[in-house]
Amino acid sequence: MAFGMACASGGDASVVLSGEATVTATPLKSASPEPTSTPLIVDIPAPTVVPDQSGEVDGESAVSAIEILPLEDLAPEAVTFLEGRAGAVGVAVVVPDETVVYLYNGSALFPMASVAKVSIMLTILDQVDRIGRVLTEQEVTLIRQMITVSDNVAAYALWEAVGGAEAVTQYLESIGLNGLDLNSRYWGESLASAADLAQILAMLAGGEILEEPRRSFALKLMVDVDDTQDWGVSAGPANDPAEGTVGVKNGWYPAPDGWRVNSIGFVYANDNRLEYTVAILTNGQRSLDEGIETIEALSQIIHAEIVD
């Protein structure tokens, strides 16, 4: 598994910031209703899952292709912080320059909520690449709504159009990710580990999956999330004067056993190098604010250790 520079197959960060999808009039399937913009809506209900706290990594995980180290080796302070927080937390940080992934409870499965929308997006874009066509105007609109304002109406339309859980599972397996459990009815109930989600972003941001301009289009949408949703792992580099390009996708849902609050993202340095990708998944948080606080404090600790 190669973890090269961001320009591995798609150019430098300037491409990431300028990527747009070409459109045509040929749809994937039948037309779906236009989405409404709904920032900060809650996600699709997901079942209660108590993750395994052992920190062991499933040998089938795609991250087994690179060196696996405990998060404590990167940031001891992060582990100390997590031990004092409520609920379950899974963390994965892929550092391409080191060919290393740092994990804390990294193989435990958590309900994805709206971070599942990244996998839906990638499946659609891969289908477009394989068919050899370009996105329709409606597809561009739906994908943009799904990622930048986490629109559930758009996500359901695209989920149906792309072929649902079966199609998304086939795509993920085609890129070596076999550990995700896609729900056949509700994408928000799908389960994933922090390790696999950080790996997906490492492959996307590192130029290993998708062709241009679809790869840049996907990255740009994560960079351009609505201000109301620019929280979570993006807090790590937020106050860094050397900050480059940062992309993020979050998910949140108030379940009976507490809030599920998730955040995944990528960080490019100013020299267009993919610095790291990160996934932080939580369960049993006492409130949305507490979940965000956990993720953002942890992200700041991790970022400081990587850039120092």
- Which domains are assigned to the chain? 13-19+50-307 (3.40.710.10)
How far apart, in whole angstroms, are the C-alpha atoms of residue 81 and residue 282? 14
For the stretch 52-65, what's the b/e string if a residue is b when 16 or more beta carbons lie within 10 angstroms of its beta carbon? eeebebbeebbbbe
Checking if the pLDDT of 296 tops 60, the result is yes
Find the Cα–Cα–Cα–Cα dihedral 186, 187, 188, 194, rounded to 10°.
140
| Lowest mean pLDDT, pick from 47-51, 91-95, 99-103, 151-155 | 47-51
Indicate the pairing of strand 258-269 with strand 243-255. Answer: antiparallel
pLDDT at 86 over 70: yes
Q: What percent of the chain stands above pLDDT 70?
A: 79
Say what the pLDDT of residue 202 is: 97
pLDDT (tens digit, 9 = 90+) per residue, 179-213? 999 998 899 999 999 999 999 999 999 999 999 99
Name the nearest CA neighbour of 277 among 229, 219, 190, 224. Answer: 219
Q: What is the C-alpha to C-alpha distance for residues 284 and 107, in angstroms, rounded to an integer?
A: 17
DSSP string, 47-92: ------TT----TTSGGGGSEEEEHHHH-HHHHHHHHTSSSEEEEE
Measured in degrees and rounded to the nearest 5, phi and psi for residue 254 equal: -85, 95
pLDDT score of 28: 40
Question: Of 305, 291, 234, which Cα lies nearest the Cα of 268?
Answer: 234
Mean pLDDT of 237-251: 88
Q: Give dist(CA 304, CA 77) in Å, integer.
A: 11
Q: What is the mean pLDDT of the chain?
A: 83
